[in-house]
Amino acid sequence: MGVTALAATQDTAKTSHVFANSQLGGEDFLKLMIQELANQDPLNPMSNEQLLTQVSNIKNMETLANLDETLANMTFQGQIATAGSLIGKAIKGISTDGQNASGIVAKVTASNANGVTLITSAGVAIPIDMVTEIQEVTG
């Protein structure tokens, strides 16, 4: 899950914020919060409520990141199960090279990089999300 990172820089009396897309974890945000606490204005320190709010936000961010990863894994496993049930069935769809293709599913390949792909008996690869028709083979 992509997280928008917040990097605080101290600029005399005010703080400016720079946003960049990157993958940050709770540890990174904790380091950022410690840095913010170390550089805060001693005459106007962060209240306990603000600190607890930030810690809570960090925990929520970690929980959502973990949930996103769990859902992605469940979706991937569901696609593998569905693809396995298609072995021996006739399918039509768009092959990995962008052409209309059809055939009898002979095997299934799965990887995190390429997702779930159905391989026909003729060796044509069709990603499971590009299947447009599934049919029982008769006779």
Question: Which residue did the predictor score with more confidence, 86 or 27?
Answer: 86
Query: How many domains would you assign to the chain?
Result: 2
Round to whole Å and give the CA distance between 95 and 101.
6
> 40 with 46: CB under 8 angstroms?
yes
57 and 91 inside one domain: no
Question: Which residue did the predictor score with more confidence, 13 or 36?
Answer: 36
Residue 26: pLDDT band (50, 70, 90) is: low
Each residue's pLDDT tens digit, 68-111: 999 989 999 999 999 999 999 999 999 999 999 999 999 999 98
21 and 70 inside one domain: yes
pLDDT at 17: 42
User: Which is it for the CA torsion 60, 62, 66, 71, positive or negative?
Assistant: positive
Calculate mean pLDDT across residues 53-64.
83
Residue 80 lies in a domain: no
Quickly list DSSP for 33-84. HHHHHHTS-TTSPPPHHHHHHHHHHHHHHHHHHHHHHHHHHHHHHHHHHHHH
Other beta carbons less than 10 A from residue 76's beta carbon:
15
46 and 103 inside one domain: no
Query: What CATH number did the domain enclosing 96 receive?
Result: 2.30.30
70 and 92 inside one domain: no
pTM more than 0.75: no
